[in-house]
Amino acid sequence: MKKTIILLSAVLSFTANAQWSLTGNSGTNPSNNFIGTTDNTSLVFKTNNLEKLRINPDGRFVFLNLSSTGQIWDKNLFFGGGVNNATSILNTVFGIGAFTQNTTGGGNTAIGSNAMSILSNGNSNTAVGSGAMNNSQSGSDNVAIGTNALESFISSSGNTAIGSHALAYGSTGTNNTAIGVSGLRYLKSGTANVSVGSESFRSLDNGSNNINLGYSNARNILSGNNNIFIGTNIVPYNATSPNNELNIGNWIVGNNGTIGIGQFTNQLPADGITADGEKYKLFVKDGIRTEKVKVDIAANNGWADYVFEKDYKLMPLNSVEKFIKENGHLPEVPTTEEAIKNGIELKEMNILLLKKIEELTLYTIEQQKRIEALEKKVK
């Protein structure tokens, strides 16, 4: 009897030592002592008798998995979200309600409640923030960082939205970049737009190839293409649908390649043609100060030296005198009124002045010859 009691005590002692203690264990060997399963089943952790964490046979963590029957997920990491299917791979999900309707796709990262919640197919998308890419159904290579960023883009690729509600309510579009709260917020369709600054291009509904750097620039335009706005609170000349406009700080403006420096009340002509019918590509307010200006002459006959050709007909001085008395200015020279109305063309005016100087030189030479002839007669 005594031997039986000793043997039973030894067995009970061995059994107790083989269990994990709530106060810790010592002398364990990781090769033999572990918490887990020895067959091809998941290790489940529960609280309140409900499953909260599962480590499946593939070594993947599944959190808040309350309906665990028949899990066949593979090569995904889901913390609080995810979807039960066998085709999505290499997806990472952190957040309640995130990535819950995906059927195909891989390489997606959703962090935040309801991020990518209804994305059915797509690859290499990143959504960080509550509701980021929330209603996107398909698309690849999109990046959304911020609450509701890229929230409603139904199908799109290559878009980057950083900031709350950036590119939030669009439907389709590719290769757009919005950095700042509500940047490109309502863009429904468009390609290759760049907006850096809160509220910039906020109301743009459709448009492509626009660049916006600064706070609240072109905030209320509805459509437009090929515009560049840099500054703060810039309002385009065309307040609803600008195209080919340039505005840098309201000091450098442009329209279809025509450039202006200074503050212009009216928009520059797109073709550069002004009221005088001439075409210009650069307009400057308040003057230019520089150490050097060089003007190209298009052709040999563009200069005034033709005055010295033998067949040049010099207007007689009495005819010049008569013209001056009748008109109040030299022949070919614009009047004061014309100069004020139309301005003067620098190259043409310099050529004209040179022509008058050369004509004056011819008059002087002719006069000198007459003086010398008279002097000979006097002698």
Measured from the Cβ of residue 325, the count of other Cβ atoms closer than 10 Å reads 8
Of the three residues 115, 142, 175, the one that is the final residue of a domain is 175
Residue 310 lies in a domain: yes
Of the three residues 175, 201, 217, the one that is the final residue of a domain is 175
Token pair 């005590």 is found at 9
Measured from the Cβ of residue 210, the count of other Cβ atoms closer than 10 Å reads 29
* List of long-range contacts for 181-189, beta carbons under 8 Å, 24+ apart: 181/146, 183/212
Average pLDDT over residues 138-158: 90
Which of the residue ranges 20-34, 77-91, 225-239, 310-324 would you say has the lowest mean pLDDT? 77-91
Residue 287 lies in a domain: no
Measured from the Cβ of residue 285, the count of other Cβ atoms closer than 10 Å reads 11
Q: Higher confidence at residue 24 or residue 220?
A: 220
pLDDT tens digit sequence for 187-210: 988 999 999 999 999 999 999 999
- Whether 329 shows a pLDDT value over 70: the answer reads yes
pLDDT tens digit sequence for 269-312: 888 888 778 888 999 998 889 999 888 887 766 788 899 999 99
- Whether 105 shows a pLDDT value over 50: the answer reads yes
Taking the whole predicted model, whether its pTM rises above 0.85 is answered as: no
Residue 205 lies in a domain: no
Report the phi/psi class of residue 28: left, alpha or beta, with left for phi > 0 and alpha for psi in -120 to 50: beta
- Whether 168 shows a pLDDT value over 60: the answer reads yes
Which amino acid makes up residue 375? Answer: E
pLDDT of residue 60: 65
pLDDT band at 233 (very low <50, low <70, confident <90, very high): very high
Tell me if 199 sits within 8 A of 184, measured CB to CB: no
Residues in CB range of 289: below 8 A, 6 or more apart: none
Tell me if 120 sits within 8 A of 136, measured CB to CB: no
Average pLDDT over residues 172-176: 90
Question: What is the rounded CA–CA span in Å between residue 201 and residue 165?
Answer: 12
pLDDT band at 40 (very low <50, low <70, confident <90, very high): very high
Output the six-digit token pair for 215.
């706070």
% of residues, the chain, pLDDT over 90: 50
Output the six-digit token pair for 110.
């959703």
- Whether 218 shows a pLDDT value over 80: the answer reads yes
Q: Coil, strand or helix: which one is 100?
A: coil
Helices (H) and strands (E) in the chain, counts: 4, 22
Residue 105 lies in a domain: yes
pLDDT band at 95 (very low <50, low <70, confident <90, very high): confident
Q: Which domain holds residue 151?
A: 39-175
Residue 3 lies in a domain: no
Of the three residues 175, 202, 217, the one that is the final residue of a domain is 175
Which of the residue ranges 73-77, 131-135, 143-147 would you say has the lowest mean pLDDT? 73-77
Which of the residue ranges 41-55, 224-238, 319-333 would you say has the lowest mean pLDDT? 41-55
Q: Which of 23-27, 91-95, 109-113, 274-278 has the highest mean pLDDT?
A: 109-113
Question: What is the rounded CA–CA span in Å between residue 64 and residue 150?
Answer: 27
Residue 204 lies in a domain: no
Burial class (CB in 10 A: 0-12, 13-18, 19+), 110: buried
Domain count, the chain: 2
pLDDT band at 125 (very low <50, low <70, confident <90, very high): very high
pLDDT tens digit sequence for 59-74: 667 665 444 444 444 4
Residue 164 lies in a domain: yes
pLDDT of residue 4: 53
Which of the residue ranges 65-79, 155-169, 221-235, 349-363 would you say has the lowest mean pLDDT? 65-79
pLDDT of residue 11: 44
Question: What is the rounded CA–CA span in Å between residue 156 and residue 169?
Answer: 12
Average pLDDT over residues 127-134: 93
Residue 101 lies in a domain: yes
Output the average pLDDT for the chain: 86
pLDDT of residue 360: 95
pLDDT tens digit sequence for 335-352: 999 999 888 888 889 999
Question: What is the rounded CA–CA span in Å between residue 236 and residue 229?
Answer: 8
Question: What is the rounded CA–CA span in Å between residue 132 and residue 139?
Answer: 14
